[in-house]
Amino acid sequence: GESVGLHLPTLSVQEGDNSIINCAYSNSASDYFIWYKQESGKGPQFIIDIRSNMDKRQGQRVTVLLNKTVKHLSLQIAATQPGDSAVYFCAENPNQAGTALIFGKGTTLSVSS
Amino acid sequence: NAGVTQTPKFQVLKTGQSMTLQCAQDMNHNSMYWYRQDPGMGLRLIYYSASEGTTDKGEVPNGYNVSRLNKREFSLRLESAAPSQTSVYFCASSPRGGSHSNQPQHFGDGTRLSIL
């Protein structure tokens, strides 16, 4: 079946470092991708999205990169802060009738000060 | 500015009991979704409603039913709860769903359900 996965289940960084969280997707027809942040006890929170006609999109301290050739998505967080500690999910829209977003399993980011 | 509101936040049931999880959104969104989240499994779609009056099965619909009561509300019902349905349940909404909807979903904070 088609799925969205993340390369690493956990990532530990020092405060102030840049973080890179990776995601591989399997559906070549997917045309829209989202990154979510989930803090303990809360629902997923939208961070940033990107459409398949783009390679890069920047937000506040975050950048999403899309490589359609190898079906790879990454989230870069600049100057990581303790408040960035959370689980990060990527999601894809497989662009198929009768389906909704498909979510990956998540990467837990731990930021130590 | 509530967004997506889910009730209750926590619930413990006995096997065989029934329960309805409530979800309401105040963003005038057309599409609503129910997911379950289990450790190591990510979010899995149970049912969704692309628009008022329609509902469709997702990846894991067995043991559940849904009702799109109106544009704001989308409920999830467990008719006869089983221990395998112990999970955290999330409701989400988006302006427009379906295969060509490139829009993010907005989530509630979940209902933590334990079935003994």
Instruction: Report pLDDT digits (tens) over B19-67.
Output: 999 999 999 999 999 999 998 778 999 999 988 989 999 989 999 999 9
**Which residue does chain A place closest to B4, by CA atoms?**
A43
Helix (H) or strand (E) holding A45: strand A45-51
What distance lies between CA A59 and its chain's CA centroid? 13
Chain A residues in contact with B104 by the CB 8 A cut-off are 34, 46, 49
What dihedral do alpha carbons B82, B84, B88, B94 form, nearest 10°? -90
| Closest CB from A96, A100, A106 relative to B33 | A100
pLDDT higher than threshold 80 for residue B102: no
Nearest alpha carbon to residue A99 among B62, B101, B98: B98
| Closest CB from B43, B106, B109 relative to A103 | B43
- Quick check: A41 and B98 CB within 8 A? no
pLDDT higher than threshold 80 for residue B12: yes
- Quick check: A43 and B48 CB within 8 A? no
CB-CB contact of B74 with B81 (8 Å): no
User: 3-state DSSP call for residue A84?
Assistant: helix
User: At A9, is the pLDDT very low, low, confident or very high (cuts 50, 70, 90)?
Assistant: confident
pLDDT higher than threshold 50 for residue A3: no
CA distance B35 to chain A (A): 10
Predicted pLDDT of residue B67: 97
| Closest CB from B44, B100, B104 relative to A34 | B104
Residues 6+ apart with CB under 8 A from A95: A27, A29, A30, A31, A32, B99, B100
CA distance A43 to chain B (A): 4
**Which residue does chain B place closest to A90, by CA atoms?**
B42
**Which residue does chain A place closest to B57, by CA atoms?**
A98
Dump pLDDT digits (tens) for A28-81. 889 899 999 999 999 999 999 999 999 999 999 999 999 999 999 999 999 999
Inter-chain contacts counted by CB atoms under 8 A, chains A and B: 57
What distance lies between CA B65 and its chain's CA centroid? 10
- Quick check: B104 and A49 CB within 8 A? yes
Predicted pLDDT of residue A79: 96
Structure tokens, B4: 């997506």
User: At A99, is the pLDDT very low, low, confident or very high (cuts 50, 70, 90)?
Assistant: low
Predicted pLDDT of residue B1: 61
**Which residue does chain A place closest to B33, by CA atoms?**
A100
What dihedral do alpha carbons B51, B110, A89, A80 form, nearest 10°? 130
User: At A2, is the pLDDT very low, low, confident or very high (cuts 50, 70, 90)?
Assistant: very low
- Quick check: B90 and A106 CB within 8 A? no
The pairing of strands A86-93 and A32-38 is: antiparallel
pLDDT higher than threshold 60 for residue B99: no
CB-CB contact of B82 with B95 (8 Å): no
